[in-house]
Structures are given as C-alpha cells and as structure tokens.
Amino acid sequence: MIGFFSSSIGRKQVMGVSGLVWSLFVLTHMAGNMLILVSADAYNKYGHTLVSNPLLPVAELALVVFLAMHVIDGVWLTIENKRARPQKYAMPTNGKKKARFQSKFMIFHGSLLLVFIITHLITFKYGTHYETTVDGVVMRDLHRLVIEVFQQPGYVFWYAVSMVAVGLHLSHGFYSSFASLGIFHSRFSPMLSKFGYLYAFIVAAGFLSQPIYVYFFAH
C-alpha cells in the first residue's frame, strides 16, 4: 500500500481524487454563496445552517487532508517531472501536441490558490464576528462582513486575480483528474476537455459575480 502511494501512478491517482473532491466543493461553495444576491437573511441563514451542522468538523478535516495530499503530491510530481526532463525540448517531437498553457503553470497558480485559501479563511471564517437575528435565531452576520470586505478595492482585485487562477487550475485539473484515475477514453477526450473549460468558467464567474455585485451595487 505504501509502495503504491509513493509511486508516480499512485501519486497521480491521489492528485486525481483530491482534485475532484475540491472541484465538487468549490462548485457547491460557489452556489451557496450566490445567496448573497438574494438577501442578507438568506445568506446568513445559509451560513448558520453550515456552522450548525454537527458533521461540519468532519467535512472540514476531510477537505484539509485532501488539500494537503493534493499540494504534497503536486509538488512531488513537479519535482519528479523536472528531474526526468531537466532541459526543455528544442522542438516538439513525434508530432505530439505541446502541453496546455494551464498545465505548464499548474504549480504556480496552484501556489497562488493555496495562499488565497489561507487568506480567505483568515478574512471570513476567522474574521470579525458580527451578530444578527433572523426568524428569532441569533446567528453570525456574515453578510455584513462580506459587504465590508468586498467594498475594499484592494481585496476585490486580489479576489479577482485568485478567481482567474481558479479558472485556470480547474480547466486543466478537472480534465486531467479523470485521465489520472483511468476514467478516460480518447473518443470522449475533446468533449471532456470542453466540459472542463465550461466547468471552470461557471465556477470562476460565479465566485467573481459576488465581489462585483457588492462593490458596485450593494451599499
């Protein structure tokens, strides 16, 4: 078992599984956050429902573990690839297509996303705790915090850059995860590739709509 997870194939499969888990998480997280476009009460009730769920600590631990596995294996595989091919090819060989732009820089926008996740948690999960009452229930006024943060031009710019990185990372990662897990067939490759781009666009655009709405329309 240890030998499998330390092998190149094993690490790629771990990357695939952890990548798909996080791909699903960011989609559901984005969809839930869209409630900010509905009303403050709807957004706060959504947040309160999440933090009141007794399974939340288990889910958060699982996400941290999958993220750690994804980061460690991503760095490991990047180092292995560089060792295996220390010099760039002078020209494409055997007519093979060049690697996608996103795949060449996965380690870079992946690193940026790691920084974003940490700052995002500090800003929102562990940020200023306001309280409000909705339907007679006292809960955290996360909506107020989000409004305050997304009215800061600097943070909106940082968030926008990070969401571009999310789109780039997902557009290649979603596609390559299936290949790493062996759930792949050349016949469906173009369709899966296009779906990966669509998936990445929906997630990134959905997240971006929130700071844009707050900065320009929510006052």
pLDDT tens sequence for the chain (219 residues):
555 556 667 777 888 888 889 989 999 999 999 999 999 999 999 999 999 999 999 999 999 999 998 888 888 877 777 776 655 444 344 434 444 555 666 778 788 999 999 999 999 999 999 999 999 999 999 999 999 999 999 999 999 999 999 998 888 777 777 766 666 666 767 777 788 899 999 999 999 999 999 999 986
The answer to whether residue 93 is domain-embedded is no
The answer to whether residue 208 is domain-embedded is yes
- Report the predicted TM-score, pTM, of the whole model to 2 decimal places: 0.83
| CA dist., res. 19 & res. 144, Å (int) | 32
The answer to whether residue 54 is domain-embedded is yes
The answer to whether the beta carbons of residues 74 and 110 sit under 8 Å apart is yes
The answer to whether residue 61 is domain-embedded is yes
What domain range is 62 assigned to? 2-84+103-217
- The total number of structural domains in the chain stands at 1
The answer to whether residue 91 is domain-embedded is no
**Residues near 183 by Cβ (< 8 Å), separated by ≥ 6?**
none
The answer to whether residue 89 is domain-embedded is no
The answer to whether residue 174 is domain-embedded is yes
The helix/strand/coil state of 97 is coil
Please report, to the nearest 10 degrees, the dihedral formed by the alpha carbons of residues 195, 196, 200, 201 taken in order: -40
The answer to whether residue 117 is domain-embedded is yes
